[in-house]
Structure 1
Amino acid sequence: MRIFLLFFPVFFFCGLLHAQTVKVEYGGDPLPDKDRKKIEQFLQHEVDFYSQFGLPDTLSLQLYVFENRREAIDYLESINVSLPIKASGAYSPKLQKAVILGRENGRERSLAIIYHELSHHFVSQILGKRPPSWLNEGLSEYFEHCTIHKKAVRHTFTEYEQGRVRTMYMLGEVNLPTFLK
């Protein structure tokens, strides 16, 4: 297993010109530059969002991404982190470490899992080690289904979400023009 490090500072201005710094230590298997760039762009988007809720000025995070799921599981066992069944990633608030379990399901899917695990880190930093599960997973799921475009980060609807909105509209539970705004 190859391990490499990179510290990435994120600086942006929010509110009263308040700077935010996030240091990311990458580990596991090397990521292509294109993927690291997307992760860092998305990281800035999440920092911008979470800073509204009291995110500390300086944060550190370890992000370990593995090509092979078995290597990732072995690594998690070596650091005494248990893995939920069928999980594609894990976050340890105690270690401030996110581990992505294999990129076998494709590049875009693994990036989505990274965005999900990064969200867990930020929620943990704001609310403590044991945030409410519904909030922690809800925000993480939201960010997992976001994609980076040239000018912005956008949330994409899954087929389930599209079907649910369609059902809500048909039942009169949602006003479509209001919903679209």
Structure 2
Amino acid sequence: MYYLNPNTSVVTVTISGPTGKIPVYIVAFADNGSKAIPIPIKVDLGNGITVLTPQVVYLDPGSYTLDDINGSPIFLSSYGLTANFLDWSIVGSGYLSEPNNLDTQFTLTGPMVITAVYNASLQKYQVTIEPQGILLGGSSTNNGITITSLNTTIPVIINNKVYNVGSSGITLNLTYGYHIIEFPQEQNITFNYLVIILTPHL
């Protein structure tokens, strides 16, 4: 079974392993509506066997547990997407007991490819992200002293991309689910200041 995007190709290889063992290729993909995104998930096969996809393991014929340790939903930080588990699928010699469950069983009689399929959430919402308590591009007066910020923005990292965010914030269209927003732990803000001294008339 091959997952190919347009204008791509594949080269087949022969897998050879320990004598008497059966190769099982375990992979995971998230479908975002236009392409299949390979994702790493931890899979427990029982008997102390845990793999991180994609991975080839060599097993004896028989029945095994198939447990997606990552659970559902999962966050794809590189894409800013949240994906929910859809099902397991197999190609090869064997069968699955309950393909729609994160935790299921499979029986192995010959070479097999096992795929965990996730469905990425594509519905978007408008989200406004703004700094609080930071004077950016404005002035503040207290006890006759006026300070004016020379900084109009601060850098904010959203889903691994840097945005320069001003006092009014930034509005983005983000997909449903998890997102990573990182405000700077420290930021140098430069001010001009004006001191007004009132001298009483005698």
Give the shorter-chain TM-score range: under 0.3
TM-score, normalization by structure 2: 0.19
TM-score, normalization by structure 1: 0.20
Higher helix share: 1
Higher strand share: 2
